[in-house]
Amino acid sequence: MNKKLLIIIPVVIVIVGIFVLLGIKRSSSVIKLVNNRLPAHSLLNQARQFEAKGELLEAKSIYQKLVNDFTESPEVANWQKKAEDLNIQLLFSSAITPKSIVYQIKPGDTLNKIAREHKTTPELIMKSNNISDSLIIPGRKIKIWNVPFTLLVDKSQNIMLLKSDEEVVKTYIVSTGKNNCTPVGVFKIVNKLMNPTWFKAGAVVPAESPENVLGTRWMGFDLAGYGIHGTTEPKELGKQVTQGCVRLNNSDVEELYNIIPTGTEVTIVE
């Protein structure tokens, strides 16, 4: 009998040990599943820590995860705005992102030439590489944004989305045409002007005039007379009050002017 017990007891111990190990593995799997969906406050703390360390791409990714994973949260709009603010910081910084490349300046290059070849703007190249004038040095490596931008204007909400591929880079509040007169369709930016003169019926209004409704920038469509511009009436943003153009705050239109090149596609929907 004692011999049988001596044989049975080790077997029982082995079996119990196997079940314990299986339980631990199962618990680990559960923990991993839970960790794939961390609480919002934990993710938010991670995002803030990354941001404090200057790791903007990582911080932006977590804010976007918060937006995607917690769609019912009252904080979603704030998280989305934070992600968009980080998008602009990344765009104007020297940080290399999945949508940018490192380009080595060649003899004979100019900022305009590099910008044309990569469908970007000289202003964006300068801002993202801390270049203060048009003089560039062959051999220097610079960051170039390498993915085209598009714009989507939603007249019903009076917002404009700056997009890269399908990602929303930033949302702008705009004004569109009164009586719904802003044209609907797909257009292209064909010209860009700093401090534009306003040629209105029967008069020419210079850029410095407080009556110049175009504000500080103009980006014209391939539809004569229509485009995107600044404003002298920022309190009217978010309303249908223009003669048909898309109107932004001057600081926003200046930012956008630096980002999008001629040829950028603009889609306007009801």
Where in 195-257 does DSSP place strands (E)? Answer: 198-200, 203-205, 217-221, 227-229, 240-242, 246-247
Q: Is 118 a catalytic residue?
A: no
Task: Give the active site residue among 41, 118, 181, 245.
Answer: 245
Tokens of 145: 């944004």
56-69 and 76-91 helices cross at what angle (nearest 10)? 150
Distance CA 80, CA 83 (A): 5
Residue from 253, 246, 252 nearest 269 by CA: 246
CA distance 255 to 70: 30
**What does 21-36 look like in DSSP terms, one character per residue?**
HHHHHHHHHHHHHHHT
Q: Which of 41, 118, 181, 229 is catalytic?
A: 229
Helix axes 56-69, 40-52, angle to 10 degrees: 160
**Helix H or strand E segment including 170:** strand 167-173
Is 140 in contact with 102 (CB distance < 8 Å)? no
Q: How many residues does the chain have?
A: 270
229 is catalytic: yes
Q: How many CB atoms lie within 10 A of CB 227?
A: 25
Under 8 Å CB-to-CB from 75, ≥6 apart: which residues?
A: 40, 66
Q: Catalytic residue numbers?
A: 229, 245
